[in-house]
Amino acid sequence: MIDDNYDGKGVLYYENGNIWYNGSWIQNKKEGYGRLYAENGQIKYDGEWNTDRKDGKGISYYDNGNIEYNGTWTQDKKNFCGYYYYKSGNISYIGEWYLDQANGKGIGYYENGKISYNGTFLENKKKGYGLFYYESGNIKYNGTWDQNAFHGIGILYYETENIFYLGGWDHSLKNGKGILYDENGILIYIGTFYKNKYEEGKLYWENSL
């Protein structure tokens, strides 16, 4: 204590005697490196601080003790690059962040450990180019996105990895020029679509969209 302020390295406790914070202080604020704990003694955060906020490199934890996030922070928000985990401990996302949201290049995972998406994000949503996978690991979609929807040009696959549809999309609706196939690779339709419906083209045999 200097002039009634916490300064330097020190430990602050809960009333039950468990540690609340163990680390560095400047004028009553957490600054530099320190560990923050829950009242039951479970660690909540281990890393760098700036004026009482998580800032720099650090690891946050779930209440079961598993890592929630390991990466960089800016003013209590996930920022730049980091690893995010399911509460089970399995990886959920690896990539770029901006103010607590997946933003930029990243890889999302199913809880079984298989990749669900590899591409770009904007404000926690798939945006731009990316590959989307079935939970089995087989490719499901290869193309461009907007607001988590197929948008622009892309290829949608059956889980067998045979092509289902190749062409234009408007927020997950077939739109513009496209080619449709059945599960065995047999051609169904070539032409234009409007909001998932056949418009102008050649229908080789009838099949529901």
Supply the CATH number for residue 126's domain: 2.20.110.10
pTM of the model: 0.91
In a domain, 56, yes or no: no
In a domain, 107, yes or no: no
- pLDDT computed for residue 207 by the predictor: 54
- pLDDT computed for residue 159 by the predictor: 96
- pLDDT computed for residue 84 by the predictor: 98
pLDDT tens readout for residues 170-183: 999 999 999 999 99
Residue 2 has pLDDT above 50, yes or no: no
Could you tell me the two tokens for 69? Answer: 């996030």
In a domain, 53, yes or no: no
In a domain, 4, yes or no: no
**In contact, 49 and 34? CB cutoff 8 Å:** yes
- Give the pLDDT band of residue 5 (cuts 50, 70, 90): confident
In a domain, 93, yes or no: no
Structural domain that includes position 192: 118-209
- Give the pLDDT band of residue 209 (cuts 50, 70, 90): very low
Count CB neighbours of 55 within 10 A. 20
pLDDT tens readout for residues 133-147: 999 999 999 999 999
Task: Report the chain's mean pLDDT, rounded to a whole number.
Answer: 95
**Domain tally, the chain:** 1
In a domain, 146, yes or no: yes
In a domain, 193, yes or no: yes
In a domain, 62, yes or no: no
